[in-house]
Amino acid sequence: MPLDRNAPPLPPVVLRAVPGADHVLTPEALGFVAALQARFGLRLHALMVARARRQERIDRGELPDYLPQTREIRQGIWQAAPVPPALEDRRVEITGPVDRKMMINALNSGARVFMADFEDATAPSFANVIAGQANLIDYRDGTLDHDDPATGKSYRVGPNPALLVVRPRGLHLPEANVLIGGQPVSAALFDFGLSLYHCGRALAATGRGPFYYLPKLEAHGEARFWNEVFAFAQDRMGLAQGTIKATVLIETLPAAFEMDEIVWELRDHIAGLNCGRWDYIFSYIKTLRNHAAYVLPDRAQVGMEDAFLAAYAARVVKVCHRRGIHAMGGMSAAIPVRGEAEANEAAFARVRADKQREVGMGFDGCWVAHPDLVPVAQAVFDAAMPGPNQIRKPRQQWRIEPAMLLKPHQGRITEAGVRLNIQVAVEYLAQWLSGRGAVPIQNMMEDAATAEISRAQLWQWIRHGAPVALEGGGERRLTADWLGELMQAEIVRILDRLGPNGFHRGHYASAARIVQEAATAETLPDFITLPAYDLLNALD
């Protein structure tokens, strides 16, 4: 069977009525999504099968490495198409969910770019997804505003907003509320297709889009897939080829070995690579899950200055600048600590140090999660980067060997670290099931990547019988039974804090069950958000 269908696409069936759907899910917009799904759905399925087969090989003992068949691409002298003027200076980017008020605050934050996130920062209930698309349409029309009846505050987009970049959901995710031929449409094609259909021409006319971030790519074949989606979509929309520009998040371990190849496949449409470091840590654990030599210590000890993360960051800068595109630094997730001046300054100091490390390595920009951190990050980049970027700045380079991209951090696994992973995973997932994708936890703005790291570490430590340093001294190996005891203690703590009504309304029992099952499964589940998505849909 061919991987592309030439028959007319079947009309989508929408299973749920939510506010704004009439405005967003017009027959023409749904027809465009259906055309994308008909053309690329089977190919996308084949790519997901290829992911699973690669993981099976790694589980059997193979380790990730540079591909011998693409050596000429890595060694060749070539560059991607020029970055458009609107994307030349990206020194500070702010990210956030597609919630209306948060979008307005981000657009007014003073950042150069705002990434409107349908992925990890948004709990993908159908109501949230459609509201996000409606917000993009209002942004297009200059009518994105919000009046908060609870506070009496009004929110309006200012005269010089940040440049809008949209991140659709990952290739592995379905949109279960829209069926074509009885099957869920790809969430990635759904998010991309609706946003491009409604906003693409208007953004192109201003020279400020359409621009995208592409999450969780694992191989250059997936980059080729997106390139062909862009080419097809531009033809259908009457946009010149190369109008769409995308920045690819390097947030999976396999992708770190195929950066040149990813840029090559997207060379007419790529604007940069980004260090999606939190998901990258999760992917490191997931990819190397059967390899006892790559067990990581407490998350707090897994820093960007050392081991596989330092090598990965250096390779992003090296590849990007050689190919003439932006190297974007990772997320600083700290948020202001209200009413605690000393703690607040400590948080700001950590962000400042993180950005100094990034600009010193050669990155052209960075991410923050809160508007108050924009001036902190911008001051660092302004002081060290007088031009719009560092793409052409001479810099000493060195060869990054495969072993450097695999080297684990040294450190300890502690009882406090185990408890923290349980607490963060349960708290985040409960908030996610309540419809919130960006959640402040312990003075950090967390998204789905945090829950993924936390539950993956618990699984890894149980799987390999990792010794845990106890708070009272001595060691104990983490087991499923001990995890159950610690999980019960966390549930009791939440019950004491919220009471029975708050506990049940907040979906904490479901969150704890999903985390417990994921951490004790025989095989590490690919994404905790997949089983959680079914429950989210049932609750919506």
> Which residues are CB-contacts of 26 (< 8 A; sequence separation ≥ 6)?
none
| 36 contacts 232 by C-beta, under 8 angstroms | yes
d(CA 515, CA 414): 19
Number of H helices, E strands in the chain: 19, 17
For 531, how many CA atoms within 13 A lie in the half-sphere containing its CB? 17
Residue 475 backbone phi and psi in degrees, to 5: -135, 160
The SS3 of residue 468 is strand
Tell me, letter by letter, the H, E, C secondary structure of 349-394.
HHHHHHHHHHHHHCCCEEEECCHHHHHHHHHHHHHHCCCCCCCCCC
Instruction: Single out the catalytic residue among 315, 357, 447, 463.
Output: 447
d(CA 320, CA 273): 7
Q: Is residue 447 flagged as an active site residue? A: yes
Q: How far is CA 242 from the centre of its chain?
A: 24
Instruction: Single out the catalytic residue among 91, 167, 169, 299.
Output: 167
How is 267-282 classified by DSSP, letter by letter?
TTTEEEEEE-HHHHHH
| 256 contacts 66 by C-beta, under 8 angstroms | no
Q: Residue 426: which H helix or E strand, with range?
A: helix 415-433
Tokens of 107: 């657009």
**10 Å Cβ neighbour count for 490?**
19
d(CA 441, CA 334): 10
| 358 contacts 57 by C-beta, under 8 angstroms | no
Tell me, letter by letter, the H, E, C secondary structure of 204-226.
HHHCCCCEEEECCCCCHHHHHHH
Q: How far is CA 139 from the centre of its chain?
A: 22
| 303 contacts 278 by C-beta, under 8 angstroms | no
DSSP 334: B
> Which residues are CB-contacts of 145 (< 8 A; sequence separation ≥ 6)?
104, 138, 154, 155, 156, 157
How many residues belong to the chain? Answer: 540
DSSP 118: S
Give residue for tokens 């297709």.
Answer: 193
Q: What residues does 212 pair with on adjacent strands?
A: 166, 246
Catalytic residues: 167, 447
